[in-house]
Amino acid sequence: MEPEEIIASGNLEMYVCGALPPAEALEIEKAIATYPEVKREVELIEESLVHLAETVAPPLQAMTWTNILNSIRNLTDTNDSKVRSLNWPAITGWAAAILFMGGIMWMLKQTNDLNDSLQVTTTENIILKEDKTNAENQLAENNEILEVLRSKNYQSYTLPGNQAVAPEAFAKVYLNKTDNVAYIDIKGLPTPPRGKVYQVWSLKMEPLTPTSVGLISVENKTSEGIYKFVNFPDPEAFGITLEPEGGSETPTLSQLYTLGMITI
C-alpha cells in the first residue's frame, strides 16, 4: 500500500498498541523503515498515547515505582527505620491510565475484527447477487427456448440410438423447415470423452449424402443441453457422430450414435 493508505487504514494505531497480528505488524515495520511519513505518524501516535496517559494519571513522586515493587513482593527495608508512605493517588491514576490504554487496544481490535467481518459479508452478498442474476438469466433463456419449441412452426423428431454403438442414446430435434432452423436436445447422449466432440449431420438418403450441420459446442449452445443450428440443406434424416475435437469432413460411421428420419 501507499503511505497515505497505510496511515488512513487505522493499522498504525493498532501496531502501536500491539494489537496487530504478527504478519501485519511486520508489514507496518517495513513501511516505517521505508516511508519517513509513516515513521513520523507512528511517533505522533506514541506521543499522543503518552500524553493521554499523563493527563489521566498524576505525576509519580521519586521512589514510587520502587515502593510499588517492594509492596508486591512483601519486602521490608530493615536498614530504614522510617516507613515510607505510598502515594496512592498517583498509583491509582497510573493504574487507571494503563486500564484506559488497554481499553483502547481492545476497541481497536474489535474495530479491526468488525471490519474483517463486514468485508466477508460484503463479498458474500456480491456472490449471492451474481448467482441470483445468473439464475434469472438462465430462467429467461429457458422460457424463451420453451416458447420457440412450442411454436406451431417447429416439428419435433426423435433420433434413436445406434444399437451397435449406443443403444440407450437418443436426441431430440425441433425443426423449423420454413426458417431453416433446428434446435437439438442432446441430454440423451453420453458425455463425450476427452478430445472428442459430437457432430451433427444433415443427410440425403439416395444417394447417401452427408452435410455437416455443425458441432455440439458452446458456440451453438442456447440453453442447458440445447443447441441451435441454422442454414443447412433440407434434410431427409439427421445423424450425430462422435468425432475428433474440431470435427471431421465426413462422418465416422463406426461412431454413429443417433440417426433418425425426418418426415415430410
Domain presence at residue 203: yes
Dihedral angle sign, alpha carbons of residues 237, 235, 247, 142 = negative
Domain presence at residue 226: yes
Q: What pLDDT shows up at residue 19?
A: 73
Domain presence at residue 28: yes
pLDDT in tens for each of the 264 residues of the chain? 788 888 888 788 778 777 778 888 888 899 899 999 989 888 887 777 665 555 555 554 545 545 654 554 454 444 444 444 545 555 565 666 666 666 677 777 777 777 777 778 888 788 877 777 766 665 666 667 777 767 788 888 999 999 999 999 999 999 988 888 999 999 999 999 999 999 999 998 888 899 999 999 999 898 888 999 998 888 899 999 999 999 999 999 899 999 999 875
Q: What pLDDT shows up at residue 80?
A: 44
Do 91 and 168 sit in the same domain of this protein? Answer: no
Task: Find the CATH number of the domain harbouring 205.
Answer: 2.60.40
Distance from C-alpha of 116 to C-alpha of 201, rounded to nearest angstrom = 56
Q: What pLDDT shows up at residue 77?
A: 46
Domain presence at residue 142: no
Do 10 and 102 sit in the same domain of this protein? Answer: yes
Other C-beta atoms closer than 10 Å to the C-beta of 256 total 18
- Cell 440423451 found at: 188
Long-range contacts of 52-58 (CB under 8 A, 24+ apart): 52/97, 52/100, 52/101, 53/94, 53/97, 53/98, 53/100, 53/101, 54/97, 56/93, 56/96, 56/97, 56/100, 57/90, 57/93, 57/94, 57/96, 57/97, 58/89, 58/90, 58/93
Residues forming beta bridges with residue 239, ordered by sequence position: 201, 259
Q: What pLDDT shows up at residue 195?
A: 93
Domain that holds residue 95: 3-73+86-127
Q: What pLDDT shows up at residue 81?
A: 43
Cell of 262: 425426418
Q: What pLDDT shows up at residue 202?
A: 93
Q: What pLDDT shows up at residue 101?
A: 67
Distance from C-alpha of 83 to C-alpha of 21, rounded to nearest angstrom = 46
Do 119 and 161 sit in the same domain of this protein? Answer: no
Domain presence at residue 136: no
CB 172 within 8 A of CB 165: no
Q: What pLDDT shows up at residue 62?
A: 47
Domain presence at residue 15: yes
Q: What pLDDT shows up at residue 137?
A: 61
Report the domain count for the chain: 2
